[in-house]
Amino acid sequence: MSEIIRRDPRREWIARNRLHPDNATVLAEMSGGAVSEWLGPNGVVRKNPRAIGFIGPHGVRRIDRSGLQQGGQSPGAAAAARDSRRTVTIDAPAFLVAVVPDMTGGRLSSQDKDLLGLARRVADADADQPGAVVAILFGEHKEDALGEAGVDRVVHLEDERYSGFAPEARLAVLSAVEREMAPRFWLLPDSPLGGADLGRRLSLRLGERAATGVWQVEADHDAPLGWQCTARGGAGSLDIQRPLPRVALALAECAEPVDETRHAAEHLTLSASIPTNLSRIEDLGQVAVDPAGVALDEAEFILSGGNGVKEWDAFHHAAKVLGATEGASRVAVDDGYMARDRQVGATGTWVTARVYVAVGISGAIQHLQGIQRCDKVVAINLDPGCDIIKRADLAVIGDSTQILAALVAMVEQQRGGQRDAA
For another protein, the binding residues in 232-271 under the rule CB under 8 A are 232-242, 253, 256, 259-260
> Is residue 128 part of the contact set for another protein (CB under 8 A)?
no
CA torsion sign for 106, 107, 110, 116 is positive
The answer to whether 281 and 165 are in contact (CB under 8 A) is: yes
Number of residues that bind another protein (CB under 8 A): 93
Look at residue 95 and give its three-state secondary structure.
Answer: coil
Which parts of 157-186 interact with another protein (CB under 8 A)? 164-165, 167-168
Q: Which of 88, 90, 274, 378 binds another protein (CB under 8 A)?
A: 378
Please list every residue from 271 through 290 that binds another protein, using CB under 8 A. 280-289
SS3 at position 173: helix
* Type of residue found at 119: A
The stretch near another protein (CB under 8 A) out of 7-15, 118-126, 267-275, 388-396 is 388-396
Tally the residues of the chain. 422
Considering the complex, what minimum distance in angstroms separates the CB of residue 12 from another protein? 34
Q: What Å distances lie between residue 16 and 11, 12, 21, 52, CA to CA?
A: 9, 6, 12, 15
Strands 376-381, 355-359: pairing kind = parallel
Smallest CA-to-CA distance from 265 within 134, 101, 391, 161 is with 134
DSSP string, 294-348: S-GGG-SEEEEE-TT---HHHHHHHHHHHT-EEEE-HHHHHTTSS-GGGBBSTTS
Please, what is the minimum distance in Å from the beta carbon of residue 47 to another protein? 21
Q: Residue 39 or 410: which CB sits closer to another protein?
A: 410
> Could you tell me the smallest distance in angstroms from the CB atom of residue 236 to another protein?
6
Distances (CA, A) of 353 to 276, 325, 340, 378: 37, 10, 19, 12
Residue 203 or residue 329: which is nearer to another protein going by CB? 203
373 binds another protein (CB under 8 A): no
Query: How far apart are CB 355 and another protein at their closest, in Å?
Result: 5
Please choose, from the candidates 212, 271, 262, 269, the residue with its C-alpha nearest in 3D space to the C-alpha of residue 242: 212
Q: Report the C-alpha gap between 176 and 180 in whole angstroms.
A: 6
Strand partners, 344: 349
Measured from the CB atom, the residue of 25 and 402 that comes closer to another protein is 402
**Closer CB to another protein, residue 93 or residue 167?**
167
Q: Which is nearer to another protein, 25 or 241 (CB)?
A: 241
- Which of 96, 103, 299, 333 touches another protein by CB under 8 A? 299
Q: Could you tell me which stretch among 129-137, 178-186, 331-339, 394-402 binds another protein (CB under 8 A)?
A: 394-402
Considering only 23, 31, 203, 343, the residue that binds another protein (CB under 8 A) is 203
Interacting positions 43-102 with another protein (CB under 8 A): 64, 66-68, 81, 84
> Rule CB under 8 A: is residue 212 a binding residue for another protein?
yes
DSSP string covering 51-69, please? GSSEE-TTS-EE--TTSTT
> Closest CB to another protein among 12 and 197?
197
- Among residues 11, 46, 141, 205, which is the contact residue for another protein, using CB under 8 A? 205
How buried is 396 (Cβ within 10 angstroms: 0-12 exposed, 13-18 middle, 19+ buried)?
middle
382 binds another protein (CB under 8 A): no
Bridge partners, 166 (sequence order): none
Q: Among 150-158, 173-181, 334-342, 408-416, which window interacts with another protein (CB under 8 A)?
A: 408-416
For another protein, the closer of residues 44 and 235 by Cβ is 235
Cα 419 from Cα 362, distance rounded (Å): 37
Residue 402 in the binding site for another protein (CB under 8 A):
yes
Residue 213 in the binding site for another protein (CB under 8 A): yes
Q: Do the beta carbons of residue 77 and residue 62 sit within 8 Å?
A: no
In the range 331-360, which residues lie near another protein by CB under 8 A? 354-355, 357
Least separation in angstroms between CB 66 and another protein: 4
**38/356 with CB nearer another protein:** 356
